[in-house]
Structure 1
Amino acid sequence: MSHASIKVLATGGTIAGQAGSATRRDYRPGQIDIATFLAALAELGVAAHLTGDQVANIDSANIGPDIWRQLHEGALAAITDPTCDAVIITHGTDTAEETAFLLDLTLPTTKPVVLVGAMRAADAVGSDGLRNFANAVVVASDPDAAGRGVLLVMGDQVLAARDARKARTTGSNAFEGFPRGAVALATPASLDWLQPPWRLDEPARYAFPDDFAEVPILHAYAGMGADSVTRLVEAGARGIVLAGMGDGNAPDTVRKALADAASKGVLVVRATRVDEGLVDRDPEDEANGFVAARALGPAKARILLQVLIANGVTDPALVQAAFSRR
């Protein structure tokens, strides 16, 4: 039986981090290069042919459009290469959900694309990096991983990019999926899909942005005033994502300021600062020109809005349809 040929695009993060001590809590992410990492993995006898490219070696808090573009180009090249079966991206966990979702929106689903990270540095007691990566290899090697969009593998769970979010600051169970939980369970020796593929042979939904529009996230809080909105509009925001109270709420003065912004062509999306839950359309949304984020949290709502603006989708009704799509 031949082994899968997998391209690994490395960006650093905790999975490539070191503390210099097995028991220190603090560490420096992005210290190990991909060649060293793959050499350590080879000693585990992982059944795949892995080749690596070092796209970056950073703390994922520092990721942005330039590295995203390199990842998109590298992943697309691998997907269109007939000798390559799948793509794995090593990534820091702080912004993994944003990178995964951006690629999910802008890559075809014909081959598996899997993001993987770690919550403990490579030299820490109980480091989870190699196990998570071995799990990612199992997932990426399975042809059934295609047709599911970009996947995120963490802590023996496989999450869809649209659902995945970092729900805890520490611990191997830091990631969860909403509204779906895990779409599969993986170990270095097994893989169990919990549902069939939902995006078989789908082309990229959107073109990768040539430019990322200014779309700030406005965090709602008790006592906030309308000036928090007007400052963003005056600074040139093309869109605003409200991380609202409850199911996307804000004080009346703020809601009015957002409606004024929407009337001037600023796209306004109501998301929630709450950890989990749907933000459905409000009876006043149509009159106000607002979009309900549905299941997307503020960070991913911002990514989708930037992609839509770059693709010329600016009618609130069409933007709403994109947010409602699974």
Structure 2
Amino acid sequence: MSTAKILVLATGGTIAGKAGSATRHDYRPGLIGIEEYLGKVTELGLDADLTGQQIANIGSEDMGPAIWAAIHSTISAALDDPECDGVIVTHGTDTAEETAFLLDLTLPTTKPVVLVGAMRPADAVGYDGLRNFANAVRVAGDPDAAGRGVLVVMSDRVFAARDVRKARTRGTDAFRGFPRGSVGLVTPSALEWFGAPWRVDEAARFPFALDRPDVPILYIHAGITPDYVTRLVTSATQGVVVAGVGEGNMPDPVRQALVELAAAGMPVVRASRLDEGLVDREPEDDANRFVAARALNPQKARVLLQFLIAAGVKEPAAIQEAYDRR
């Protein structure tokens, strides 16, 4: 088997961060450049031909459309390059799930694309970044990783972009998958998939768009009143995602305010603020013209709704089909 040629795109994050001390809690993300990082990786003796490119060097709380556009265009070119076998994106953990899902919707599934990060900076005791990176190389270099959409590798697990979510603020085992816990287990020396690829040679589901519709998230809490809706929705708003309590629930006065928006043609998607929040359709959804987010959390539900609206899909039934799709 020939050595895999892998393009590594660096965006910063904790995996490239430093604290200046092995025991400090605070640190600065994105201080290590890609060339320096790949120099450290060389010492691991990985069986891969790695080429690096610095896209950004930020904490992922600052991730946004311009950087997404640069990541997307660079990956697209790599997927068309016969000399490239796979792509790794180093990324901060805070918004990795949103970047992964956005790329999952807008890239074909012909080659492996893997996001990887770390929960501890590079100079901390127990730094997890190098192991996570070595695992990502194992995944990105495996031809069988293609056809599974964009993947996220953390703590010896492989997650699908649609499932993955950051569930803890601390500890290296901070990521979970829902409804699928993970789609594979990986170490620097071994990789085991839980089933066959499910998206073999699939084209991108949506074209990438730099400017996407304004879709805010309404976070439901005890005591919320309808005026929260009117304060959140502006003349630029084209859709709303509700981070509901329980199975996408909300007080009836708030529901009625959203029903008015939906009746006027604005898509409204019910998601859950819970970590494992499966939201099925309820009997009133048809009359209300609401959409159930199914297993997507509010932040991913928002990304999908933006692409649907940008593609001209605004009818609740057609939107619901997209949320039902694996």
* TM score, norm. by length of structure 1: 0.99
1:209/1:311 contact within 8 Å kept: no
**Equivalent position of 1:58 in the other structure:** 58
1:311 corresponds to which letter in structure 2? A
Please name the residue that 1:204 is paired with: 204
Deviations 1:280-323 (A, max 9, x none): 00111111110000000001001101111111111111110000
For the Cα contact (< 8 Å) 1:100–1:115, is it kept in 2?
Answer: yes
SS of 1:295's equivalent? Answer: coil
Q: CA deviation at 1:170?
A: 0.8
Q: Deviations over 1:250-300 (max 9, x none)?
A: 000000000101112221100001110310001111111100000000010
Aligned residue number for residue 222 of structure 2? 222
State the shift of 1:235 in Å: 4.5
* Structure 1: runs of 5+ lacking an equivalent: none
Q: Equivalences for 1:4-15 in 2 at 5 Å?
A: 4-15=4-15
Alignment length (residue pairs): 326
For the residue of structure 1 that corresponds to 2:57, the secondary structure is strand
**Cα distance in 1, alignment partners of residues 299 and 234 from structure 2:** 22
Which residues in structure 2 correspond to 1:240-255 (within 5 Å)? 240-255=240-255
SS of aligned partner of 1:186: strand
The residue identity in structure 1 corresponding to 2:4 is A
Distance 1:239 1:209 in 2: 17
Match for residue 175 of structure 1? Answer: 175
Which amino acid is the alignment partner of residue 184 of structure 1?
Answer: G
> What does the per-residue CA deviation read over 1:75-121, in whole Å, with 9 as the maximum and x for residues that have no partner?
11000101000000000000000000000000000000000000000
Structure 1 Cα separation of the partners of residues 223 and 97 of structure 2: 30
Q: Is the 8 A contact 2:216 2:232 kept in 1?
A: yes
Once the two structures are superposed, what CA deviation does each residue of 1:199-230 show, in whole Å capped at 9, x if it has no partner?
Answer: 00101011112411111111001111111111
Q: How far off its partner does 1:236 sit?
A: 2.5
- 1:160 maps to a residue whose letter is A
What is the alpha-carbon distance in structure 2 between the residues aligned to residue 82 and residue 278 of structure 1? 40
- Rounded to whole Å, the distance in 1 between the matches of 2:249 and 2:238 is 21
**Structure 1 range deviating more: 35-44 or 207-216:** 207-216
Letter in 2 for 1:65: P
**Residues 1-326 of structure 1 mapped to structure 2, 5 A cutoff:** 1-326=1-326
The runs of 4+ residues in structure 1 deviating greater than 6 Å are none
How much does 1:185 deviate?
0.3
Q: Deviations over 1:137-161 (max 9, x none)?
A: 0000000000000000000000000
TM-score (norm: length of structure 2):
0.99
Contact 1:90/1:116 (8 A) holds in 2: yes
Q: Distance in 2 between matches of 1:33 and 1:115?
A: 17
Say which SS state the counterpart of residue 234 (structure 1) adopts: coil
State the Cα distance separating 1:234 from its structure 2 match.
3.1
Tell me, in whole angstroms, the C-alpha distance in 1 between the residues paired with 2:78 and 2:154: 23
C-alpha root-mean-square deviation of aligned residues, in Å?
0.8
Secondary structure at the aligned position of 2:2 is classed as: coil
Amino acid at match of 1:241: V
1:217 and 1:242 in contact (8 A); partners too: yes
**TM-fit CA distance, 1:31:** 0.4
**In the aligned structure 2, how far is the partner of 1:235 from the partner of 1:28?**
38
- The 3-state SS of whatever aligns with 2:9 is strand
Does structure 1 retain, via aligned residues, the 8 Å contact 2:61–2:95? yes
Structure 2 CA distance for aligned equivalents of residues 277 and 227 of structure 1 = 26
Partners of 1:118 and 1:3 lie apart in 2 by 25
Maintained 8 Å contact 2:65/2:210: no
Q: CA deviation at 1:2?
A: 2.1
1-structure distance, mates of 2:175, 2:294: 19
